[in-house]
Amino acid sequence: MATLKDIKKVFFSLSKKEQETILKEIYGFSKDVKEFLNVRLLNEGEEKFIEQIKKASESSTYTGMPKIIKVTNINQILNKAKKSKVRQETLCEMQWIAFDGYMTFLNDYGGGPDSFEDKVYDHLKAYLLLLLDISNGQELNDELVGVSNYLRKHNNMYYDHIWELYKELTGMDV
């Protein structure tokens, strides 16, 4: 298989019209490629990632029956968003949505797959680290108070290690 260097050499040796044709073919290759190019080149489409992760993290069906959240789906959406280099704020929101999805499942159904406890921890940690990186002052304080209130509201057996994580990263008690 050719290297990226080889591909670039051939691509840039093409006429502008041939380059446009290739770009059109690349754009039409898949939905993922379209999303990637829209986010990377036009700074558009980040909301699609938000909608995808909301849908993937829903834990109940329209009939109210539990729906297992597929960890691989959540991970794929987050990875695509990261590869597309979405804004930190968007990634932060996506991490919160994933955290909330797993947490809601555990609360609503009194438990779930063992991996969900790990995912609650992982997504809260990623959310808090992003939040601490992109926010400051009163905005940061307000967000952290909101997270603390959320954690207290959803207090159950899953939270000891999560509360410790919150304190470790923020310096604040829940």
Query: Which pLDDT tens digit goes with each residue over 77-136?
Result: 999 999 988 999 999 999 999 999 999 888 888 777 888 889 999 999 999 999 999 988
Question: Is it the case that residue 148 has pLDDT exceeding 80?
Answer: yes
pTM for this predicted structure: 0.81
Of the two residues 113 and 49, the one the predictor is more confident about is 49
Region of 150 please: left (phi>0), alpha (psi -120 to 50) or beta. Answer: alpha
Using an 8 Å Cβ cutoff, are 105 and 111 in contact? no
Distances (CA, A) of 142 to 138, 149, 150, 153, 173: 6, 11, 12, 16, 14
Of the two residues 62 and 51, the one the predictor is more confident about is 51
Region of 152 please: left (phi>0), alpha (psi -120 to 50) or beta. Answer: alpha
* Burial status of residue 42 (CB atoms within 10 A of its CB: 0-12, 13-18, 19 or more): exposed
Nearest to 102 by CA among 126, 76, 124: 124
